Structure 1
């Protein structure tokens, strides 16, 4: 492919590569900030399984024909794609099928290269961004062809997720093979930045938190009380996000049966494969009057609904190194909504919740400990209000407005 000099291109262009079907909030916010700074942004992502809400105008989908061609390397993956529509993603059969496909048949790196390269080549850019590890080899290949700068945005410690040992080793090898070719590496918190620097001998990894864009804090609504028929004055503890395995949600529901506080309700806001199982647990424990499930809502409505709660909870457990270092989106969404937070005592959650005095961190590893921590959270009303007052100050600095300015500076240095 013939190279084009950066100097002759008037509009600076960024090509973002995303292997997800639902575009992460982090990617959209980065696109917003770069567009504000004068970049033309294209987000190349996987095709949707079915028609849904219209995409952001900057999002392009690889064609379903490209996906089909990449999957023709094996029949197991194609079979997996079909049956995942009908069987629980976290069920034993789906886990076994996916594991078998990726272990014995698919070369992960080649799979994503086959999937994205042909379409990506049609979108010449001065900067190529690999959003998370599956896109890193694709990003490197395109950046080399374009003569472009390469940015790797590691959304998590990808190769340290709750994978089988062989999967962790394979992804670590891919990361090690390509990360040194990056002009900049970005990640979501200092702990993961330090881990990447140590593992791969990197001089610098920049931190851009998963913050949320904030506006004036709206008056607290009664939406959740009215929606679920909760009496005025009773308190609401909120979990929001995917109802999926590995998030300690079953134990959280069970803990509600042990509370001493009779006026505390739990709302689970989100969708996922565990929704039906959690609802069955609610019925089995006769907690229908205390535990409530709410379907996921569009991002535009999320903060107004979140702000109707009294506190947010993040009960994640250190089941893998990635979880141990987590700073999930909901952490910053709770901050943006002005909520005090109860979180597991993990390094980054301690730094952002305990150290900033916007809530408490505790050992939430058992049902009994969860119940005790929830009771203690709501036992001291003045303390809870003091945390809420502090959140109103902290949200000004832990916001996308601040993180977006850091991002703009990183890209300014790539000019």
Structure 2
């Protein structure tokens, strides 16, 4: 049954599937590919996501309803104002209680927990308003609210695990111990109750099966790119990537600029490549809090290495195609990295780029199988620099590796293959036949 609801601006909308992601949609290629695929299967879809500067709270994107829910609400502001007024009150007990709370060692945890619960409540209200049959959770941080919505409406729950969340560096380093325990309990409790569980790589799927033997699946939906025609290199784009003079060999890293992705070692490798006609471009969001750009400045690599601002996922193929070689240097600092198959690997292959890649199990298996790149020790700058030199010094070999990767991506690693798995999952959940999605992705 399709239920009617109203969007944030009061317009009536219809949804059979409600997706929730705690991310900005503009740069989340996987969520957009899945939503577009479901739409081509004849399903109505609502995506609930974080706000984006300059974008409306409610809009239709690619025939998909998008709701951007503000992260801070009026209730939080009113409570903060009430606490401030209580602390200024001279009448004693209430003032001392509020002051004690604000100086309590647990204040940060309690504050974050309170803020999280308020936001979860707002997400739940909007999710319920969609009247969806299926609530599709993108990663562990949206699993509780999707589970609550499914329970309250007798709907279906999909847990789409993009990461091994509990084994990721972000979780291990940036999450306080109380929240780590809370998130562990959440996944242990809810994941086995999901009607469908989705994993991105075979290795991660295997670990999830070991962790939760009573869990459904998981089904494997790799984050392959959509099939796109090969694009010509753009001189303007190459100049934006640092190729101010030609001939020049451009190495590209695209994705999050974070720690433990081999980027600090790449900066050191860049310093070893001075004097060669090569440039290195890093394109993406800086999640290192300035550590990587500052380290690059310290090493004085500006003549070799360029930082390029992030671009919408739809615009990325043109940048990828204008480079000469892709870089993928993840380090095995956590199980999430060890068993990763980043979409950038297949985006490089789809663009016909050879790859200088780390020797982690899932990534190296693809590179070795298709002979589409060279493997290096991502923890050793000298090894990275040597691999880059070898590729740049052999244009014919680089072109052969690039073509090997392109042919493999075209035949094996396109989103259409993942979409067929997603089609099977939703037919099973809804108990009815759905049209097969044609080739394509997020359009």
Secondary structure, in 3 states, of the residue corresponding to 1:214?
A: coil
Secondary structure, in 3 states, of the residue corresponding to 1:414?
A: helix
Return structure 1 stretches of 4+ with deviation > 6 angstroms: 70-75
Verify the 8 A CA contact 2:323 2:353 in the aligned structure 1: yes
* Structure 2 unaligned regions, length at least 5: 5-13, 82-105, 431-443
* Structure 1 unaligned regions, length at least 5: 1-5, 76-98
1:128 aligns with 2:132: no
CA–CA separation in structure 1 for the residues paired with 2:78 and 2:140: 23
Secondary structure, in 3 states, of the residue corresponding to 2:429?
A: coil
1:114 aligns with 2:127: no
Q: Go from structure 1 to structure 2 and tell me whether the alpha carbon gap of 1:332 and 1:350 turns closer, same or farther (over 3 Å shift).
A: same
Matches within 5 A, 1:88-107: 101-102=108-109, 106=113
Verify the 8 A CA contact 2:354 2:372 in the aligned structure 1: yes
Q: Considering only CA atoms, is the larger Rg found in Structure 1 or Structure 2?
A: 2
Verify the 8 A CA contact 1:349 1:361 in the aligned structure 2: no
Other-structure match for 2:48: 44
- 1:172 aligned to 181, 184, 188, which one? 184
Matches within 5 A, 1:249-398: 249-259=263-273, 262-272=276-286, 274=288, 277-396=291-410, 397-398=412-413
Other-structure match for 1:148: 155
Verify the 8 A CA contact 2:2 2:15 in the aligned structure 1: no
Q: Go from structure 1 to structure 2 and tell me whether the alpha carbon gap of 1:262 and 1:159 turns closer, same or farther (over 3 Å shift).
A: same
Secondary structure, in 3 states, of the residue corresponding to 2:269?
A: helix
- Give the structure-1-normalised TM-score: 0.83
Deviation string, structure 1 residues 167-206 (Cα, Å, up to 9, x no partner): 4443222101001111110011111111111100035211
Q: Which has the higher contact order (CA 8 A, sep 6+)?
A: 2
Verify the 8 A CA contact 1:160 1:168 in the aligned structure 2: no
What is the Cα deviation at residue 7 of structure 1?
A: 9.4
Q: Choose 312-321 or 270-279, whichever is displaced more.
A: 270-279
1:400 aligns with 2:415: yes
Other-structure match for 1:220: 233
Matches within 5 A, 1:23-62: 24-48=28-52, 50-52=53-55, 56=61, 58-62=65-69
Deviation string, structure 1 residues 229-251 (Cα, Å, up to 9, x no partner): 53323211101122233323222
What is the Cα deviation at residue 275 of structure 1?
A: 8.2
What is the Cα deviation at residue 299 of structure 1?
A: 2.2
Verify the 8 A CA contact 1:326 1:348 in the aligned structure 2: yes
Q: Go from structure 1 to structure 2 and tell me whether the alpha carbon gap of 1:406 and 1:74 turns closer, same or farther (over 3 Å shift).
A: farther
What is the Cα deviation at residue 63 of structure 1?
A: 4.5
Q: Go from structure 1 to structure 2 and tell me whether the alpha carbon gap of 1:226 and 1:19 turns closer, same or farther (over 3 Å shift).
A: closer
Q: Between Structure 1 and Structure 2, how many residues are aligned?
A: 384
Deviation string, structure 1 residues 385-412 (Cα, Å, up to 9, x no partner): 2211112211212111221222112111
Q: Choose 180-189 or 330-339, whichever is displaced more.
A: 330-339
Q: Go from structure 1 to structure 2 and tell me whether the alpha carbon gap of 1:169 and 1:382 turns closer, same or farther (over 3 Å shift).
A: farther
- Give the structure-2-normalised TM-score: 0.78
Q: Go from structure 1 to structure 2 and tell me whether the alpha carbon gap of 1:21 and 1:375 turns closer, same or farther (over 3 Å shift).
A: same
Verify the 8 A CA contact 2:143 2:190 in the aligned structure 1: yes
Deviation string, structure 1 residues 314-366 (Cα, Å, up to 9, x no partner): 11112222122222232222122221111111122112222222212221102
